[in-house]
Structure 1
């Protein structure tokens, strides 16, 4: 997997343009009101169900909103990397995981830039459970769980950014019978923060997806990661041999 990433102009430009369009439409003018309407509609459609379907439904989303539950998608990601022929063949699995780890660093950098942009333009906002007084709160229904269902600054959706980035990384290398299962895992573990009211829909579809698209553009469609991936591969393989 040496020098797998190269500059591909069309893909690089397309991903960045889509990301910029998403963020611009959320940031400015009349288009923002449509995102606000979507946010309110999704919240009104999902939040009352936590009370109306109190029991297995609310308990399920409460469990997935516990902080330690964030490790569950990580284990899924590890398994998809490790399983032979799902994304990589045996000889490429380790190098493939290193590439994704480096992509995570790019994600963090892009996320910080987006956060700086939001701060400079005073676009910060809290979770719906903070701003809407009669919101159903899972943390009040299950006080012993120690779950997180609110944030003073909910944009962008960090979990969504990582999961969308992972989805794009998998699709870059393999599109096979496992792709629907990867998509299912992404959707499943994006949903808890939305269902719990910790995020608005636009935090996920603008912040999370926008961050992922820019990350994928620079990480997969430029040679940015080739050298660090090669160096890390050599270092870690040398350690493992010893």
Structure 2
């Protein structure tokens, strides 16, 4: 299922008010760790899947990437990226991640940030990324953590005074579609176990080099106090892999 919620004006406006939309990578709680999992980008050909505002595309160029292609299904996202993160060596293309078609070994690095849990067939995407990566190329991705996606409600269990008691986990082994509520909209996501993410990469021909379940840094907690509960359960899963 290929969703394009971000071209809905109301949804896009709500997304634009989120801290990571305003503050960019510095406001993304997982970024300090994700950044360390990236290979050297100097002189690399980089593909960003689900590029959104283009923050990672801009970062790749700042690190000396030879060229960057950013792919996103939302025209509003791409309009913002072109206006605010423009660079002659960055090409922004509209399209679904499931539909990407590039030449074999066209890229050296593929990045995907918080987009692949919206994709139904993760294995097929992994195989296509393996095809378009050069030998030894890197694939670094972040998704919502399976502990976070297991239940569609994606919310805490609250006490009588509204206090957050714990994060409920159920139906973890039951993979598939979840209709979650995000920014006052129903959004389709796909729940997968950690094992499924890892095995899909291995089956596609990748060697996994690093895993992370990051929590906010103290700097992030100081800047964004609302992140304090993100230390109680993982919200992101980060994976780095290389093409064998």
Q: TM-score range by the shorter chain?
A: under 0.3
Structure with bigger RCO (C-alpha 8 Å, 6+ apart): 1
Higher helix share: 1
Higher strand share: 2
Structure with higher Rg: it is: 1
